């Protein structure tokens, strides 16, 4: 059966559908030896030889998704040229290739989903799905009402303002804990926001992805997502998707 090329790539667990589109545009995908750059191209995995960077993709693997507590000091990537440890090392006991759905910065800890389900990855990380992520940020000193209001309304970072966020002052001592909820995924966003209002981040942890929380996982541990959890993510993403 003919299926769109980017869907076949994501279903095979190579990467998300959005990333697959980038691979196609970059000329890194071949069908029966021919370089394909057209996003509307279709193929039949049972009949056609489809290669990504010279590697042939195989028929769809069993769908597996896990929730990992990423420790500080791991990079959210499949590999790192600098030799830093990657989050995939923490799930290498799983016999299929998983890729991160979204990212956490090197020094940020907390919840991260890894999957070979391209549809789930798209539901979690595509900006149009507006998937909320909740962070606990330990910041220097105690932000006043004006600083918190700025965080809520949006901060100008590198010429572009962040979207409104929910911000709550959880604890105040010599330093403070903030709960910050956003649905963007800009690099180092929470750190840059807090830095901009004069309260640099000391420690940062993601505690929720959409509806999903798990207080039992410890750094480096993971658990499998239940089918009902995957279904709930997909249902929420479908509702949030922009209408044509």
What is the structure's pLDDT at 107?
95
Compute the Cα dihedral for 197, 200, 203, 206 and give only its sign: positive
What is the structure's pLDDT at 18?
84
When pLDDT is cut at 50, 70 and 90, the band that residue 104 belongs to is: very high
Show Cβ contacts of residue 38 under 8 Å, excluding neighbours closer than 6 positions. Answer: 24
Instruction: From 158, 129, 137, select the one nearest 236 (Cα to Cα).
Output: 129
Average per-residue pLDDT in the chain? 92
The larger pLDDT score, comparing residue 61 to residue 233, is at: 233
Single out the catalytic residue among 48, 72, 105, 214: 105
What is the structure's pLDDT at 243?
63
The larger pLDDT score, comparing residue 194 to residue 239, is at: 194
Q: Tell me phi and psi for residue 63, to 5 degrees.
A: -75, 120
3-state DSSP assignment of residue 51:
strand
What CATH number is given for 65-128+212-240 in this structure? 3.30.70.580
What's the rounded mean pLDDT across residues 131-141? 97
What's the rounded mean pLDDT across residues 196-201? 97
Q: Structure pTM?
A: 0.78
Look up 105 and say whether it is catalytic.
yes
Lowest mean pLDDT among 46-50, 130-134, 202-206: 46-50
CATH architecture of 132-209: 2-Layer Sandwich (3.30)
When pLDDT is cut at 50, 70 and 90, the band that residue 244 belongs to is: low
CATH tag for 3-56 (out of 3.10.290.10, 3.40.50.1820, 1.10.150.530, 3.40.50.12780): 3.10.290.10
Compute the Cα dihedral for 228, 16, 14, 106 and give only its sign: negative
- Same topology, domains 3-56 and 65-128+212-240? Answer is no
222/66 Cα distance (integer angstroms): 6
What is the structure's pLDDT at 33?
94
Domains of the chain by residue range: 3-56, 65-128+212-240, 132-209
């Amino acid at each position: 059966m003919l299926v769109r090329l980017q869907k076949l790539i994501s279903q095979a667990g190579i990467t998300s559908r959005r990333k697959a589109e980038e691979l196609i545009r970059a000329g890194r995908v071949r069908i029966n030896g021919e370089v394909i750059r057209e996003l509307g191209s279709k193929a039949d995995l049972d009949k056609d030889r489809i290669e990504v960077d010279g590697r042939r993709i195989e028929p769809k693997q069993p769908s597996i998704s896990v929730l990992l507590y990423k420790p500080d000091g791991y990079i959210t990537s499949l590999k790192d040229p600098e030799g830093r440890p990657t989050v995939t090392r923490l799930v290498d006991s799983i016999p299929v290739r998983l890729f991160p759905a979204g990212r956490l910065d090197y020094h940020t800890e907390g919840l991260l989903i890894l999957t070979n389900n391209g549809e789930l990855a798209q539901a979690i990380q595509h900006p149009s799905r507006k998937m909320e992520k909740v962070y606990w940020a330990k910041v220097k000193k105690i932000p006043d009402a004006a600083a918190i209001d700025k965080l809520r309304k949006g901060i100008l970072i590198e010429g572009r303002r962040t979207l409104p966020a929910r911000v709550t002052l959880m604890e105040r001592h010599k330093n403070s804990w903030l709960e910050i909820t956003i649905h963007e995924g800009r690099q180092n966003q929470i750190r840059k926001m807090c830095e901009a209002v004069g309260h640099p981040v000391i420690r940062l942890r993601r505690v929720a992805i959409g509806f999903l929380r798990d207080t039992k996982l410890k750094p480096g541990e993971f658990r499998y997502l239940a089918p009902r959890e995957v279904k709930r993510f997909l249902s929420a993403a479908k509702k949030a998707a922009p209408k044509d």
